[in-house]
Amino acid sequence: MASQESMQGGEGGLHLLSLPAEMRNFIYAEVLISNERIKVTKDNYQQPSLLRVNHQIRHEARPIYYCQNNFTIACPDFDATALVAFRIQSRDVAPSMLGIDGKKPAISLKSPTHTQPRNWSNLFRWLGALHQDDFLIRFSTKGDPGRRVARAMMLVAVQLHSLSWRRVKHILRDVASAHHVMWT
């Protein structure tokens, strides 16, 4: 890791933190904004190295990274491990997942298709994280009754964030049984 003195411009040249903020933001954008979706899985999610250089750079560059990129978060079998890790890293930058200028960052979830079984305990962990954190991720439900039920359950978990998780869990079980969806 670079020393604070070398980052601020010691002997022999111009260094990143000695540049004006507008120039640093331009550099951060050039380094951190991707033309392709950034894939996040439970096994590979790690913030870019630039965000780990020092506190000031992390503070300045995180909003650019999280609010100006498109992410695909893999949630196979409704396993929300990658989603929760992503939210922990991005929470204070994009509390409600609103991007810069009010634009929603493009986040898509890869969840089970209608031919794959769903894991009830994974979905409940996901719903618990949504209930606690009060954020909502949208994903396609086209042609898949299981995904439609999962999305309805997500809406319920977020809408009822003022109730205890125990109470919300009871309500969610009723929602699932009313829709006759088979879960493992």
Same domain for 7 and 95? yes
* C-beta of residue 39 within 8 angstroms of C-beta of residue 74: yes
Mean pLDDT split into 10-residue runs, the chain, 184 residues: 51 80 95 90 84 92 88 77 80 56 51 62 79 62 67 79 87 74 58
Amino acid at 99: G
pLDDT at position 102 is 45
Same domain for 100 and 142? no
Query: Of the candidates 110, 139, 166, which is a domain's last residue?
Result: 110
pLDDT at position 70 is 82
Amino acid at 130: L
Q: Which residue has the tokens 């039920």?
A: 149
What is the SS3 assignment for 119-158? CHHHHHHHHHHHHHHCCCCCCCCCCCHHHHHHHHHHHHHH
Same domain for 78 and 8? yes
pLDDT at position 150 is 75
pTM above 0.85, yes or no: no
How many structural domains does the chain have? 2
> Taking the alpha carbons of 64, 105, 81, 112 in that order, is the dihedral positive or negative?
negative
pLDDT at position 77 is 74
> Taking the alpha carbons of 45, 49, 55, 58 in that order, is the dihedral positive or negative?
negative
pLDDT at position 103 is 46
Structure tokens at 26: 């331009």
Amino acid at 163: L
pLDDT at position 98 is 41
pLDDT at position 135 is 57
Same domain for 71 and 129? no
Same domain for 123 and 184? yes
- Domain of residue 146 covers 118-184
Q: What region does 180 belong to: left with phi over 0, alpha with psi -120 to 50, or beta? A: left
pLDDT at position 35 is 92
Same domain for 124 and 106? no
pLDDT at position 40 is 85
* C-beta of residue 102 within 8 angstroms of C-beta of residue 129: no
pLDDT at position 136 is 54
